[in-house]
Chain A
Amino acid sequence: MSQQAILEIEKEIIEDFALFDSWEDKYEYIIDLGKKLPVLDEEHKIADNKIKGCQSTVWLVAAYEDGRVFFKADSDAVIVKGLVSMLIKVLSGHRPEEILEAKLDFIREIGMMTHLAQTRSNGLLSMIKQMKNYALAYQTLQGLENK
């Protein structure tokens, strides 16, 4: 999979959102995504994986297999969880460099920037930074192994 793949997924999400005519449809879809995202095992809900917002919390775990980074995450608030679900859909399973280069413009395109701007109330922006931090860490690790 290449960088194109991330953009492809983003494009699909943007196209999905273009079909909604009301804010209700949009949010019902996000809530549905949130509900469908598998619950993270309790063993992962530890302080190290916690990205604490002022109001809601996100938990993020990463794994590195065959040169690709896989993410799992959860939140105690369902709308945030729906947005988390989209971020996983877009970024999980890609190579570290692809994740690092991802601009994630789809968030703006689907009108969800407001939730990222509220850095204090939820952990979303910190979560994206943390996903990129993992990618960077795995990239570095791989570089060391290849030497």
Chain B
Amino acid sequence: MTQIDSISLDLDLQAIRSQFPILSRTINDKPLVYLDNAATSQKPRCVIDTLSDYYGRYNANIHRGIHTLAEEATLAYEATRFTAQEFIGAASAEEIIFSRGTTEGINLVAYTWGRQHISAGDEILISGMEHHSNIVPWQILCQEKNAVLKVIPVTDEGELSMEVYKSLLSEKTKLVSIVQVSNALGTVNPVKEMIDAAHAVGAKVLVDGAQSAVHLDIDVQDLDCDFFAFSGHKVYAPTGIGVLYGKKELLESMPVFHGGGEMIKEVSFEETTYNDLPYKYEAGTPNIADTIALKTALDFIQNIGKATIRKHENELLAYATTQLESIPGLRIIGKAKEKVSLVSFVVKGIHPQDIGILLDNLGIAVRTGHHCTQPLMKRFGIPGTVRASFAMYNTKEEIDILIAGMHKSIKMLS
């Protein structure tokens, strides 16, 4: 790497932090140390301003009105679609469906493509590290259709066994629905390799990008996944907005999901014809403000650069891992070779919840519990973990505060 490259990849942390108003909050008279980014990221000022600007200046219903406000709102709303398209490398903007979030995106596929294509005896393959939202929709579908849900096992290191995965694939496999990055372990799964193997047996692949979209460069065309879902609120955008990507030919051939306004072409009491993509899947007045703010958030990330962010986050991951491992009795759950900036751990003889309560008193926000991955916790034989997850604005000093907090909590609880 040349010197110029290394300079250009260094994040101006103070400048970044100053753009997130919430980071100047105090909790219990201590500065907030926010390490729960895998649950939701904080929002930069520009995203917050976008929301108030929309409501204060051009709030209107979109796609229908002929007045100025409606036109401005429609243009801003549709601009997000192009930005989202670029963000994940989709071939066309019609392949970008706005949803409430990853969960709704997965459910949309389960209730439309799933109902159309899954029948008795078919197999759907998921992994042992899925979030409940990538388990339950498929369970519902399999029960309804008498299909079989199969699970790729997780190794002790917290990786997926590729050997077992390939042995599970057969012509019965109709869908592989897989998380790209585990929310509980931080593992980055080799989805490209998995997609190729699935396609070789004729299966479609949905990638749950809830955790990956904020950390990794996403190129759905390079991955060749059939569906990709992610949530706005984990990429510095507001809650209640997400994106479902689907290959155009698939989305076109799938049945509709929600019926209502916007998703129709012609309605009579005898028959309704449906709108073209992407509107076919966007019934009703959408979440306009948050969609517009999603663009601001994605632009914000791209302006800093994912490579720059990744470099900083990798440093945080390495530092946190080393520091946490030096704590006696602490065991990191998830030691995959490829991880994002997230560390899950348990401490011998101490319930994760007790640690979470004490850390909160120190102003440190972590997540404790099963992280909506109960089967994964069962696999590791633990009730849950403490999870510290880092974003672009976190610092090594904050990790030092976490480590000091851990020492203090363990002392109080032992």
Interface residues of chain A, those whose CB is within 8 Å of chain B, are 23-24, 27-28, 31, 54-56, 76-80, 115, 121-122
User: How many residues of B are counted as interface, with CB atoms below 8 angstroms from the partner's CB atoms?
Assistant: 16
What distance in Å separates the Cβ of B57 from its nearest Cβ neighbour in chain A? 37
Q: Are B412 and A76 touching (Cβ within 8 A)? A: no
CB-CB under 8 A from B384, the residues of chain A are 55
Tell me if B171 is interfacial: C-beta within 8 Å of chain A.
no
* 24 residue pairs bridging A and B, Cβ less than 8 Å apart: A24-B361, A24-B412, A27-B357, A27-B358, A27-B361, A31-B354, A54-B369, A54-B370, A55-B352, A55-B368, A55-B369, A55-B370, A55-B384, A56-B383, A76-B351, A76-B383, A77-B353, A77-B354, A78-B350, A78-B354, A80-B353, A121-B353, A121-B369, A122-B353
Known: A24-B412, A78-B351. A55 touches B383 (CB 8 A): yes
Cα separation A54 to B361 with both chains bound (whole Å): 21
Main secondary structure of the interface of A (DSSP, over half): helix
A27 to B361, CA, bound (A): 10
- Whether the Cβ atoms of B361 and A23 lie closer than 8 Å is yes
Determine the chain B residues whose CB is within 8 A of the CB of A121 once the complex forms.
353, 369
Q: Contact between B412 and A28 (Cβ–Cβ < 8 Å)?
A: yes
Partner of A56, one of B28, B353, B413: B353
Q: Which chain A positions have C-beta within 8 A of B354?
A: 31, 77-79
User: What A residues does B370 contact at CB under 8 A?
Assistant: 54-55
> What separation, in Å, do the CA atoms of A55 and B361 have in the docked complex?
18
A35 to chain B, nearest CB (A): 9
Q: Which of A27, A54, A56, A122 is in CB contact (< 8 Å) with B412? A: A27
User: What separation, in Å, do the CA atoms of A31 and B358 have in the docked complex?
Assistant: 11
Chain B residues within an 8 Å CB radius of A56:
351, 353, 383
State which residues 351-368 of B face A: CB under 8 Å: 351-354, 357-358, 361, 368
Q: Give the Cβ gap from B198 to chain A, nearest Cβ, in Å.
A: 33
Chain B residue with Cβ nearest A122? B353
Q: What separation, in Å, do the CA atoms of A27 and B357 have in the docked complex?
A: 10
Q: How far, in whole Å, are A28 and B357 apart by their CA atoms in the complex?
A: 12
Q: Which of A23, A28, A56, A77 has the most CB of B within 10 A?
A: A77
Contacts of A76 in B (CB 8 A): 351, 383
How far does the alpha carbon of A40 sit from the alpha carbon of B353 in the complex, in Å? 20
Inter-chain contacts of A23 with B (CB < 8 A) = 28, 361
A108 vs B350: C-alpha distance when bound (angstroms):
26
**Given A23-B28, A54-B369: A77 touches B351 (CB 8 Å cut-off):** yes
Report Cα–Cα, A31/B351, bound state, in Å. 12
In the complex, per-residue mask of B396-414: 1 if CB is within 8 Å of any chain A CB, else 0: 0000000000000000110
Q: Which residue of B lies closest to A56 (CB)?
A: B353
Which 10 residue pairs are nearest across A and B when measured between Cβ atoms?
Answer: A77-B351, A55-B369, A77-B353, A55-B353, A56-B353, A23-B361, A79-B354, A77-B354, A79-B357, A78-B354
Give every chain A residue within 8 A of B353 (Cβ-Cβ). 55-56, 77, 79-80, 121-122
Query: Closest approach, in angstroms, between the C-beta of A82 and any C-beta of chain B?
Result: 10
**A73 to B: closest C-beta gap in Å:** 16
Query: Most A CB atoms within 10 A — which of B353, B368, B383?
Result: B353
Nearest CB of chain B from residue A26's CB, rounded to whole Å: 9
Assembled-state Cα–Cα distance A24/B411 (Å): 11
What is the CA–CA distance of A31 and B355 in the complex, to the nearest angstrom?
Answer: 12
A121 to B368 alpha-carbon distance, docked (Å): 9
* B362 and chain A: residue at smallest CB distance: A23
In the bound assembly, the distance between CA atoms of A90 and B336 in angstroms comes to 48
Bound: A32/B368 CA distance, A: 22
| Complex CA–CA separation, A85 to B238 (angstroms) | 41
Q: How far is the CB of A114 from chain B (nearest CB, A)?
A: 9
In the assembly, what is the distance between CA of A121 and CA of B353, in Å?
8
Give the docked Cα–Cα distance between A105 and B350 (Å): 29
Question: Which residues of B, 93-121, contact A by the 8 Å Cβ criterion?
Answer: none
Question: In the assembly, what is the distance between CA of A41 and CA of B393, in Å?
Answer: 48
A115 to B28, CA, bound (A): 15
Tell me the complex Cα distance, A83–B15, Å.
Answer: 43
Residue of A with least CB distance to B409: A27
| Chain A, Cβ-Cβ closest to B351 | A77
Q: A54, A78, A122: which contacts B413 (Cβ < 8 A)? A: A78
Q: Which of B351, B352, B361 has the most CB of A within 10 A?
A: B351
